[in-house]
Amino acid sequence: MSSQSLPSPSSRPGLDASGARVDVAIIGAGLAGTACALRLHALGHKVALIDAHAEHAEEFRAEKMGLDHLSLFEKLGLDQISKPALTSMLDNHVYRLGRLYSRKDIPEFGFSYAGLVNALRRAVPSGVLNLVGKVTEIETLPDGRRLVLADGTSIDARLVVVSTGLGEAIRRMAGVKRTVLSRAHSLAFGFDLAGRARDYGFGTLNYYSTRREHRYAYLTLFPIGDTMRANFFTYRDIADPFVKRFRAEPQQVLKDLMPEIAPVCGDFELGGPVSVRPVDLSLSEDYEQPGLVLVGDAFCTTCPVPGVGISRVMTDVERLCNVHIPAWLATPGMGVDKIAAYYRDPVKVETDRAGMRVSFYARRVNLGEGLVWRLRHARNQVLRRSLLALRHPPQAGAGLGG
Ligand SMILES: Cc1cc2nc3c(=O)[nH]c(=O)nc-3n(C[C@H](O)[C@H](O)[C@H](O)COP(=O)(O)OP(=O)(O)OC[C@H]3O[C@@H](n4cnc5c(N)ncnc54)[C@H](O)[C@@H]3O)c2cc1C
């Protein structure tokens, strides 16, 4: 749906013929933007939320989170809205060195990313000016910013929040650059397994790589509703022949790489197509600007292997909406001095740094590139072998895999 197909501005609540004036205009209604809109509205601020699409399309993104992620939803008052979109699970089976290494009951939650974002979007109250359209101009005003949409609608806001994820258009319009710190850092595959999730003999299953030459971190299986979903995180380039082979015969590739778990995984029979997403690690530059802030993937991107994306996104939203925006709006002006406080927020800074750090660490230690990382990889394998031997003393003739 484009902005042109919406009713005329004057017939939409909150908009008159000359447009609208709000405290905060948010561009991009993914997880970050929608969470910002809900939280700021709940805190009594006047908010506009603008996205190019009326609904978030199905796409392969984050599909699993833990209690630490959920606690951030709680801090924003979004846990109750989100819970119906989540499938909760226990009984986590962890395989290392090809053998069952641990079984734990740590709560985790599976979800379709579009299902979660759309559940949050449906909860956006009518008091939020919710617009579907394209922003074509961002002007600087003495006390904020003016957005102009493709249909001519103009929104004056004291603050613009840019939460457009990987989209380049708005960042470019605002003069924000992006530096890629690690191109093609990882490559994620997402697919369904055949059959009903309840018929598998585990809640979740994580199988970690046994050999660094295999160039993957782990396969994780978890339910979304009654479907057993798989995320397979590799360190491959999209042009690697492995990708072509995986698309052509995923069942055989998985059986070759992890034969030990094939019997408990329905012999890896797939229940649908394979999605493939390459991931770059990136960071924005020139972002300290009056009247404009970046949140979530619009600010930086990390790797899905350590699963830190959601906590980074929700930490941005929590610090911005619970701490900084209420303080900024309480006094006149929206200069760089105010905006800088968010980018220097110690909780945000540490969350971003840690996300980037573990993204690099996971790749280096999994691939064992260079002597130091090869030694670390070997040390980790030795430690795990010893632990496995303590837990399950080897029987005659039984090996521990790679
Ligand atoms: C394959 C994959 C697997 C992942 N797995 C995990 C995981 O297991 N755990 C984890 O924690 N994280 C994971 N992540 C990371 C996580 O998904 C992201 O960090 C998170 O979804 C980013 O949310 P966001 O709101 O910043 O961006 P998005 O959800 O991308 O939202 C951006 C929004 O902006 C809108 N938009 C874009 N351009 C414009 C424009 N010009 N005008 C108006 N609207 C616009 C889009 O329509 C969209 O709605 C994964 C990422 C990928 C790619």
Give the pLDDT score at 4.
Answer: 35
Q: Name which residue sits closest to atom 2 of ligand 1, judged by CA.
A: 61
Of 249, 278, 307, the residue that ends a domain is 278
Are 272 and 192 a contacting pair, CB within 8 Å? yes
Q: Which residue, 66, 47, 137, is CA-closest to 320?
A: 47
Q: How far is the CA of 297 from the centre of ligand 1 (A)?
A: 6
Q: How far is the CA of 166 from the centre of ligand 1 (A)?
A: 7
Q: What is the CATH number of the domain that holds 132?
A: 3.50.50.60
Identify whether residues 158 and 44 lie together within a single domain: yes
Identify whether residues 127 and 266 lie together within a single domain: no
Identify whether residues 53 and 141 lie together within a single domain: yes
Identify whether residues 95 and 226 lie together within a single domain: yes
pLDDT digits 0-9 by tens, 200-250: 999 999 999 999 899 999 999 999 999 999 999 999 999 999 999 999 999
Answer yes or no: is pLDDT of 101 > 60: yes
Q: Give the 3-state secondary structure of the chain.
A: CCHHHCCCHHHCCCCECCEEEEEEEEECCCHHHHHHHHHHHHCCCCEEEEECCCCCCCCCCCCEEEHHHHHHHHHCCCHHHHHHHCEEECCEEEEECCEEEEEECCCEEECCHHHHHHHHHHCCCCCCEEEECCEEEEEEECCEEEEEECCCCEEEEEEEEECCCCCCHHHHHCCCEEEEEEEEEEEEEEEEEEEEHHHCCCCEEEEECCCHHHCEEEEEEEEECCEEEEEEEECCCCCCHHHHHHHHCHHHHHHHHCHHHHHHHHHHCECCCCEEEEEEEEEEECCCECCEEECHHHCEECCCCCCCHHHHHHHHHHHHHHHHHHHHHCCCCCCHHHHHHHHCCHHHHHHHHHHHHHHHHHHHHHHCCHHHHHHHHHHHHHHHHHHHHHHCCCCCCCCCCC
Are 96 and 75 a contacting pair, CB within 8 Å? no
> Residue 390 domain-assigned?
no
Q: Which residue, 231, 198, 188, is CA-closest to 87?
A: 198
Identify whether residues 230 and 206 lie together within a single domain: yes
Answer yes or no: is pLDDT of 372 > 50: yes
Q: Which residue, 69, 78, 70, 20, is CA-closest to 49?
A: 20
> Residue 70 domain-assigned?
no
Atom of ligand 1 nearest to the CA of 297: 26
Q: How many CB atoms lie within 10 A of CB 320?
A: 27
Q: How far is the CA of 32 from the centre of ligand 1 (A)?
A: 8
Ligand 1 mutation target, pool 147, 206, 310, most atoms within 8 A of CB: 310
Percent of the chain clearing pLDDT 90 (strictly above) = 85
Q: Name which residue sits closest to atom 31 of ligand 1, judged by CA.
A: 30
Answer yes or no: is pLDDT of 305 > 90: yes
Atom of ligand 1 nearest to the CA of 164: 34
Instruction: Report the domain count for the chain.
Output: 2
Identify whether residues 246 and 287 lie together within a single domain: no
Domain that residue 146 falls in: 3-61+114-180+282-359
> Residue 324 domain-assigned?
yes
Identify whether residues 219 and 105 lie together within a single domain: yes
Identify whether residues 222 and 252 lie together within a single domain: yes
> Residue 67 domain-assigned?
no
Percent of the chain clearing pLDDT 70 (strictly above) = 93
Ligand 1 mutation target, pool 39, 61, 72, 284, most atoms within 8 A of CB: 61
Identify whether residues 331 and 351 lie together within a single domain: yes
Identify whether residues 350 and 210 lie together within a single domain: no
Give the pLDDT score at 248.
Answer: 97
Answer yes or no: is pLDDT of 109 > 60: yes
Cross-strand bridge partners of residue 209? none
> Residue 366 domain-assigned?
no
Of 278, 300, 320, the residue that ends a domain is 278
pLDDT digits 0-9 by tens, 19-48: 899 999 999 999 999 999 999 999 999 999
Answer yes or no: is pLDDT of 381 > 80: no
Alpha-carbon torsion, ordered 78, 66, 188, 103, to 10 deg = -160
> Residue 308 domain-assigned?
yes
> Residue 270 domain-assigned?
yes
Give the pLDDT score at 402.
Answer: 29
Q: How far is the CA of 383 from the centre of ligand 1 (A)?
A: 36
Q: How far is the CA of 225 from the centre of ligand 1 (A)?
A: 22
pTM of the model: 0.91
Identify whether residues 256 and 268 lie together within a single domain: yes
Identify whether residues 94 and 189 lie together within a single domain: yes
Of 252, 278, 304, the residue that ends a domain is 278
Pocket of ligand 1 (CB under 6 A): 27-33, 50-53, 56, 60-62, 64, 134-135, 163-165, 167, 169-170, 188, 277, 279, 296-298, 304, 307-310, 313
> Residue 379 domain-assigned?
no
